C-alpha cells in the first residue's frame, strides 16, 4: 500500500475516533495468531484499532509497523499512547473513499 497523505490520515483518524480496540497484543508480541485474527477482522472492517498492552515486548509504534508489514495492503494511520489504528482497503469493494492527493 502506498503511503497515506496527511489529508487521508486525518480522514481515517476521524472515522476511527469512536472505535474501540478489536485486537490486543500482549506479552507474546506480534504472533501469527494475532496476525491471522487481524486478517479476519480486515475481512469485514477497513479501519481497525489495536491495543498494545503494557506487557508487550515492543511499543505501540513498533508493533503497529510490524503488523502492517505482515498484513498485505495495510498501513498505519496513527499511534496514540498504547493504541494503534490500521487501515486496509477492501480489495474487492472498498467502502471508505479517501480524499484525493
pLDDT tens profile 10-57: 999 999 999 999 999 999 999 999 999 999 999 999 999 999 999 999
Residue written as grid cell 506487557: 55
99 occurs within a structural domain:
no
54 occurs within a structural domain:
yes
pLDDT at 2: 61
100 occurs within a structural domain:
no
Contacts of 88 (CB under 8 A, 6+ apart): 1, 42, 46, 48, 71, 73, 74, 75
Q: Identify the domain containing residue 11 by its residue range.
A: 6-87
pLDDT at 1 over 70: no
When the pLDDT of each residue in the chain is averaged and rounded to a whole number, the result is 93
50 occurs within a structural domain:
yes
CATH, residue 19: 3.30.110.60
The number of distinct structural domains making up the chain is 1
**Among residues of the chain, what percentage have pLDDT more than 70?**
97
Amino acid at each position: 500500500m502506498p503511503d497515506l497523505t496527511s489529508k487521508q490520515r486525518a480522514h481515517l483518524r476521524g472515522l476511527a475516533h469512536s472505535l474501540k480496540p478489536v485486537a490486543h497484543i500482549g506479552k507474546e508480541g506480534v504472533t501469527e495468531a494475532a496476525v491471522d485474527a487481524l486478517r479476519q477482522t480486515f475481512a469485514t472492517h477497513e479501519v481497525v484499532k489495536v491495543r498494545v498492552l503494557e506487557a508487550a515486548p515492543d511499543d505501540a509504534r513498533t508493533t503497529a509497523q510490524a503488523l502492517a508489514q505482515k498484513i498485505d495492503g495495510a498501513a498505519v494511520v496513527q499511534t496514540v499512547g498504547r493504541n494503534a489504528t490500521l487501515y486496509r482497503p477492501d480489495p474487492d469493494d472498498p467502502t471508505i473513499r479517501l480524499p484525493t492527493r
